[in-house]
């Protein structure tokens, strides 16, 4: 049992309209009021257009707000992008960077993610930095090599254990219903903690697992020594499921 405080993070992706998001946020907000004595931290990352509405719905709550991505520049001619300063201004304390849906769906390189993370840190945002191998890379026994390279190239010089959370998300486990085995998660998290030691205080750093986490597998995953929380997609859209996952961390 470590003394790192669990972080339960929800990635809503491109889901929900205003009313859905507000209802979800309000239900969670009532369960976790300011002062948070629950023993875990909770973060929700809604789609950009909902940020202001969700910030309002979370008023009086300890739940933190995050963006799902950000640009590396402060402002300018970047159609469709959102700057770290805008996220901060919208009430965000965190930003997810390097999600596989950005790395693979938008061709984002680790170098770009590094630049985005630097910018996010400059604006005082905590970065939830995602890494993870594809199924092919795992089958070819390259999972650790791929994750090591992503970590070394994506973690910026500005990273500390306080401003950077690492999320291990095997691509083949995201949204597929296939949770990685406890052995795979355990081995990879221990490997990640060892690997990041050259970049931050690894003993203090929080490492999340993500990939088809649900109430039925959360406790087993969260009980692992090097797992300090979870990054949840699908199940974070259902208040009862997300809350059940969170309470499985204590």
Nearer to ligand PEP, 85 or 179 (CB): 179
Nearer to ligand PEP, 150 or 212 (CB): 212
Among candidates 173, 176, 170, which has minimal Cα distance to 144?
170
Distance of closest approach, residue 88 Cβ to ligand PEP, in angstroms: 22
Q: How far apart are CA 160 and CA 68, in angstroms?
A: 20
CA distances from 192 to 20, 27, 63, 103, 205 (A): 36, 34, 27, 19, 10
Q: What does the block give as tokens for 59?
A: 């008023």
Compute the Cα dihedral for 108, 132, 200, 90 and give only its sign: positive
Distance of closest approach, residue 168 Cβ to ligand PEP, in angstroms: 10
DSSP letter, residue 17:
-
Known catalytic residue at 55: no
CB closest to ligand PEP, residue no: 233
Active-site residue, selected from the candidate residues 71, 94, 99, 121: 99
Contact residues for ligand PEP (CB under 6 A)?
11, 169, 174-175, 210-213, 231-235
| Cβ(196)–Cβ(167) below 8 Å | no
Known catalytic residue at 169: yes
Nearer to ligand PEP, 195 or 212 (CB): 212
Active-site residue, selected from the candidate residues 101, 133, 169, 189: 169
DSSP output for 57-91: HTTTB--EEEES---SSSSSS-TT---HHHHHHTT
Distance of closest approach, residue 8 Cβ to ligand PEP, in angstroms: 12
Nearer to ligand PEP, 68 or 114 (CB): 68
Distance of closest approach, residue 76 Cβ to ligand PEP, in angstroms: 29
Catalytic residue ranges: 99, 169
């Amino acid at each position: 049992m470590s003394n790192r405080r669990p972080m339960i993070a929800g990635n809503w992706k491109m889901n929900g309209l205003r009313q859905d998001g507000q209802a979800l946020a309000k239900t969670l907000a009532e369960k976790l009021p300011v002062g948070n004595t629950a023993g875990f931290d909770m973060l929700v990352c809604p789609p950009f257009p909902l940020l202001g509405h969700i910030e309002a719905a979370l008023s009086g709550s300890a739940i933190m707000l995050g963006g799902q991505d950000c640009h590396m520049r402060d402002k300018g001619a970047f159609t469709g992008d959102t700057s770290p300063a805008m996220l901060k201004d919208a009430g965000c304390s965190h930003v997810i960077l390097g999600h596989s849906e950005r790395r693979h769906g938008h061709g984002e390189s680790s170098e770009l993610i590094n630049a985005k993370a630097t910018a996010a840190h400059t604006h005082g945002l905590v970065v939830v930095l995602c890494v993870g191998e594809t199924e092919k890379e795992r089958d070819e026994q390259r999972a650790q090599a791929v994750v090591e390279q992503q970590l070394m190239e994506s973690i910026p010089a500005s990273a500390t254990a306080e401003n950077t959370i690492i999320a291990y998300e095997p691509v083949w486990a995201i949204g597929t219903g296939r949770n990685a085995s406890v052995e795979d998660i355990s081995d990879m998290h221990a490997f990640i903690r060892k690997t990041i030691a050259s970049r931050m205080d690894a003993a203090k750093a929080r490492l999340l697992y993500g990939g088809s986490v649900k109430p039925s597998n959360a406790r087993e995953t969260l009980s692992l020594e090097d797992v300090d929380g979870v990054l949840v997609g699908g199940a974070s859209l259902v208040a009862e499921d997300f809350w059940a996952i969170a309470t499985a961390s204590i």
